[in-house]
């Protein structure tokens, strides 16, 4: 008989089975961002027209309505969290075909992963999570009121931009310095929630955006089916063997180069090693590296005269006949999902909070970074990736 939990062998979750549940938290949308509040200073009492009084009252009313809408949305989301089933184990709990340990194992719900509650059956919860629908032992999971607080801890809070161009500021104030700009529909990782602002992470660093110009949602890791697990393990093994072979060839090449008396011209771009990836993805990575050192321009798509992060990715892929959106959040749904960085191949798109890049192998990316640094090469883990997408 197979027990229904597994002791953890490593601290990290497996990269497979990552899917998302979005709990939408809608707020009102404004087309023009960062208008100053219509307030009257206490230090001076200017003569005020009826029109100005009316405008001030309307602005105050709008702000109050927005706050009430967010409060209602928060309560609605919390109610939704009660219908979640969250695994609380060392590693994973099996998802079975029937509410019995004799049931076929359909997949695994890893620690802190989330499913949606369907029904309870004699100590088992029937759930749906990702591509898996089945039963998990209730003793290894939490749901109902207990799931609310845990959901807030294990989920990634995401802010989706609802205005044409959103200013990210250094402090939670309309008077604060603008740190960067983010286009409509971009999704930013929220690291802190304040009364009317959220702290987010963008390429330029941590900053703040007004809640009036974003909607909030929560993303969770979901279950991994047996088929998904088998495919992931096979791919990881193939990648491991390919990496060993690539390392052997690289070592042999370096040994021969050391013996050679001839001088070779060194390129500023790093060598992109092949590790079993498609030749086309390799070509994408190599092509992208040609533009290192060129400028970053917000909203730009020129590989020579300037592009922003998604414009850079879009234009690189356009050279290979692929049409991609000019949006970092849009890039999170193109192609097919890759099961984590361990399986990333040159040419894959690496998605971050409000940013995208192209993986070039050897743990590195090429990307249009900031106006200060332009198109550059960085370590793939210089920020926390939110996803990996493969086009070829």
Question: DSSP readout, 183-219?
Answer: ETT-EEEEEEE-SSEEEEEETTEEEEEEGGGEEEEEE
Residue 157 — very low, low, confident or very high, per pLDDT cuts 50/70/90? very high
Tell me the H-state helices in 196-341.
Answer: 226-259, 279-289, 309-318
3-state helix, strand, coil in the chain (%, to 5): 30, 30, 40
pLDDT of residue 42: 38
Residue 27's region, left for phi above 0, alpha for psi from -120 to 50, else beta, is beta
Residue 260, C-beta contacts closer than 8 angstroms, at least 6 positions apart: none
* Res 2 pLDDT > 60: no
Tell me the mean pLDDT in the region 95-104. Answer: 97
Q: In angstroms, rounded to a whole number, what is the distance separating the alpha carbons of residues 73 and 1? A: 45
pLDDT of residue 24: 39
Residue 63 — very low, low, confident or very high, per pLDDT cuts 50/70/90? low
Q: In angstroms, rounded to a whole number, what is the distance separating the alpha carbons of residues 114 and 83? A: 10
Does residue 245 sit within a domain? no
CA nearest to 166, candidates 290, 284, 298: 298
- Cα→Cα distances 384→96, 213, 311, Å: 33, 24, 21
* Res 296 pLDDT > 70: yes
Query: What is the extent of the structural domain holding 364?
Result: 272-390
Q: Report the range of poorest mean pLDDT among 35-39, 156-160, 194-198.
A: 35-39
Q: Are 355 and 328 in contact (CB under 8 A)?
A: yes
Same domain? 76 vs 211: yes
Same domain? 207 vs 310: no
CATH number of the domain to which 214 belongs: 2.30.30.40
CB atoms within 10 A of CB 377: 18
Tell me the mean pLDDT in the region 85-113. Answer: 96
Same domain? 111 vs 198: yes
| pLDDT tens per residue across span 302-332 | 999 999 999 999 999 999 889 999 999 899 9
CATH number of the domain to which 320 belongs: 3.90.1720.10
pLDDT of residue 165: 92
Most confident of 31-45, 254-268, 332-346: 332-346
Give me the residue label for tokens 């099961």. Answer: 339
pLDDT mean across residues, the chain: 81
pTM of the predicted model, to two decimals? 0.60
Same domain? 180 vs 90: yes
Residue 65, C-beta contacts closer than 8 angstroms, at least 6 positions apart: 28
* Res 27 pLDDT > 60: no
Same domain? 89 vs 214: yes
Q: Cα angle at 199 between 198 and 204, to 5 degrees?
A: 135
More confident residue, 35 or 382: 382
| pLDDT tens per residue across span 216-274 | 999 999 999 999 889 878 877 876 776 667 657 766 776 777 666 555 444 444 544 44
Q: In angstroms, rounded to a whole number, what is the distance separating the alpha carbons of residues 113 and 123? A: 19
* Res 380 pLDDT > 50: yes
Same domain? 177 vs 289: no
* Res 156 pLDDT > 80: yes
Same domain? 280 vs 205: no
């Amino acid at each position: 008989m197979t027990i229904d939990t597994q002791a953890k062998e490593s601290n990290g979750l497996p990269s497979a089975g990552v899917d998302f549940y979005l709990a939408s938290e809608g707020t009102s949308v404004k087309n023009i961002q960062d208008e100053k509040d219509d307030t009257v200073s206490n230090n001076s009492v200017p003569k005020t027209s009826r029109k100005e009084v009316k405008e001030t009252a309307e602005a105050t009313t709008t702000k109050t309505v927005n706050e009430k809408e967010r409060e209602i949305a928060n309560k609605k989301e919390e109610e939704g969290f009660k219908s979640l089933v969250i695994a609380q184990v060392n590693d994973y709990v099996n998802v079975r075909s029937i509410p019995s340990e004799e049931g076929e194992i359909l997949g695994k719900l890893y620690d802190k992963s989330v499913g949606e509650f369907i029904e309870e059956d004699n100590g088992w919860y029937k759930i749906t999570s990702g591509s898996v629908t089945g039963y998990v032992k209730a003793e290894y999971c939490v749901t109902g009121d207990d799931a609310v607080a845990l959901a807030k801890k294990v989920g990634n809070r995401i802010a989706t931009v609802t205005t044409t161009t959103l200013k990210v500021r250094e402090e939670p104030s309309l008077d604060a310095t603008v740190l960067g700009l983010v286009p409509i529909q971009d999704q930013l990782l929220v690291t802190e929630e304040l009364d009317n602002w959220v702290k987010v992470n963008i390429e330029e660093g941590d900053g703040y955006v007004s809640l009036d110009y974003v909607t909030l949602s929560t993303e969770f890791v979901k279950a991994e089916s047996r088929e998904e697990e088998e495919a992931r393990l096979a791919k990881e093994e193939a990648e491991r063997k390919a990496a060993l072979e690539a390392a052997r060839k690289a070592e042999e090449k370096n040994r021969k180069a050391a013996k050679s008396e001839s001088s070779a011209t060194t390129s500023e771009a790093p060598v992109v090693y092949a590790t079993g990836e498609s030749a086309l993805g390799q070509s994408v990575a190599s092509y992208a590296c040609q533009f290192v050192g060129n400028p970053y321009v917000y909203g730009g798509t020129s590989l020579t005269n300037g592009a922003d992060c998604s414009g850079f990715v879009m234009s690189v892929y356009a050279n290979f006949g692929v049409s991609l959106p000019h949006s970092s959040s849009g890039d999170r749904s193109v192609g097919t999902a890759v099961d984590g960085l361990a399986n990333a191949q040159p040419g894959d798109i690496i998605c971050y909070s409000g940013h995208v890049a192209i993986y070039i192998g050897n743990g590195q990316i090429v990307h249009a970074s900031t106006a200060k640094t332009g198109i550059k090469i960085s370590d793939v883990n210089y920020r926390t990736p939110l996803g990996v997408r493969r086009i070829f």
